[in-house]
């Protein structure tokens, strides 16, 4: 699964190459890629035709493109670089991209050969010579069109209204996150992966941030103090921003790409995937434990398990 930094790289690429363009034609080449659009492929294609793509947006690992049909207020919302609050725009439409395990959004020259796993093609009504392609080998991903949450400045698709803001979002509320941590009877890694509390933190980034914060993944959140929460959030943001800084160099090309591997980040990992390798802080071998059908990597010395209660 792509994690937040990879999705942000795709968002920037879409913003650079697709935002502001008007859809001319949509070709759905595989019904599975459109299955979340319950009205079907023909409806998806008909409704998108003639709409203009707005600023690409992201919350956690969710990525969407607001679309507008014209009119001065709608036009200005579509053109905005930062969230535009236009009183007359109360709700609209957005294309939600589900990248799944292997989904890719590619901006390709129109005459480039079709990819083997090309699922959806979107052509634009301009002479830029490129088109947007959704390519997905395993077809767990897809595109769908949704109403946006009424009055929402981010033009959030209604189906992801329950997804919390991510820690890189300037509007993320640290104090509210701390209060929610204290209220929940949960443990810290479960909380970090709970998309209704904080979005965009996957297994890799959770392990990395916990290692930096010297926190065991099973530590109960009810014990957290404000400074501890603040320190943890700081590490989460550092890990993500470092990944973005490394991955962010590849977006400014014609090839907008995401795939399941975060290879560019692997070499700088401190905990995740490093079983039996020495902790970079104390030299103790990193351990791996099964955790909710996944794994947790941690240093048994730096990250002491909580005492049984
Ligand atoms: Zn250690």
Give the integer Cα–Cα distance in Å for 243 and 2.
12
Centre of ligand 1 from the C-alpha of residue 231, in Å:
18
pLDDT score of 96: 97
Give the C-alpha distances (Å, rounded to integers) separating 151 from 52, 69, 75: 20, 17, 16
pLDDT score of 87: 43
- Report residue 97 as tokens: 């991209």
Give the integer Cα–Cα distance in Å for 81 and 18.
13
pLDDT one digit per residue (tens) for the chain, 309 residues: 677 877 888 888 899 899 999 999 999 999 999 999 999 999 999 999 999 999 999 998 899 999 998 444 444 444 544 444 444 445 699 999 988 777 889 899 999 999 999 999 999 999 999 999 999 888 888 999 999 998 888 899 999 999 999 999 999 999 999 999 999 989 999 999 999 999 989 888 899 999 999 999 999 999 999 999 999 999 999 998 888 877 644 433 333 444 334 444 555 789 998 999 999 999 999 999 999 989 999 999 999 999 876
pLDDT score of 269: 87
Tokens 């930062």 identify what position? Answer: 82
The catalytic position among 36, 190, 228, 294 is 294
- Ligand 1 is an ion; its neighbours by CB within 5 Å are 279, 281-282, 284, 299, 301-302
Query: If you count DSSP H runs as helices and E runs as strands, how many of each does the chain have, helices first?
Result: 8, 11
Active-site annotation holds for 131: no
Tokens 């599975």 identify what position? Answer: 32
Give the integer Cα–Cα distance in Å for 277 and 231.
26
Active-site annotation holds for 61: yes
Question: In which element (H, E) is residue 243 found?
Answer: helix 226-247
Residue positions counted in the chain:
309
pLDDT score of 180: 95
Give the integer Cα–Cα distance in Å for 278 and 272.
12
Instruction: Name 219's Cβ contacts closer than 8 Å, sequence gap at least 6.
Output: 187, 188, 306
pLDDT score of 266: 53
pLDDT score of 56: 95
Active-site annotation holds for 2: yes
């Amino acid at each position: 699964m792509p994690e937040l930094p990879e999705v942000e790289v795709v968002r920037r690429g879409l913003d650079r190459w697709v935002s502001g363009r008007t859809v001319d034609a949509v070709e759905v080449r595989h019904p599975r890629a459109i299955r979340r659009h319950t009205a079907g492929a023909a409806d998806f294609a008909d409704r998108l035709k003639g709409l203009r793509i707005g600023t690409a947006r992201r919350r956690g690992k969710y990525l969407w493109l607001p679309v507008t049909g014209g009119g001065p207020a709608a036009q200005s919302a579509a053109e905005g670089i930062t969230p535009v609050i236009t009183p007359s725009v109360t709700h609209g439409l957005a294309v939600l991209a589900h990248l799944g395990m292997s989904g890719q959004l590619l901006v390709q020259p129109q005459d480039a050969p079709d990819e083997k796993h090309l699922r959806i093609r979107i052509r634009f009504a301009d002479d830029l010579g490129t088109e947007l392609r959704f390519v997905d080998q395993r077809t767990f991903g897809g595109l769908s069109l949704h109403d946006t949450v009424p009055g929402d400045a981010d033009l959030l698709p209604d189906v992801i209204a329950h997804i919390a803001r991510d820690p890189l979002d300037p509007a993320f509320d640290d104090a509210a996150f701390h209060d929610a941590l204290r209220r929940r009877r949960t443990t810290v890694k479960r909380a970090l992966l709970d998309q209704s509390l904080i979005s965009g933190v996957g297994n890799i980034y959770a392990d990395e941030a916990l290692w930096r914060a010297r926190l065991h993944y099973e530590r109960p959140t009810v014990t957290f103090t404000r400074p501890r929460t603040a320190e943890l959030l700081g590490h989460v943001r550092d890990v993500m921003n470092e990944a973005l800084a490394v991955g962010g160099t590849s977006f400014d090309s014609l090839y907008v790409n995401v795939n399941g591997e975060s290879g560019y980040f692997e070499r700088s990992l401190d905990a995740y995937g490093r079983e039996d390798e020495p902790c970079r802080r104390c030299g103790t071998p990193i351990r791996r434990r099964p955790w909710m059908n996944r794994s947790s990597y941690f240093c048994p010395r730096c990250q002491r398990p909580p005492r049984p209660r």
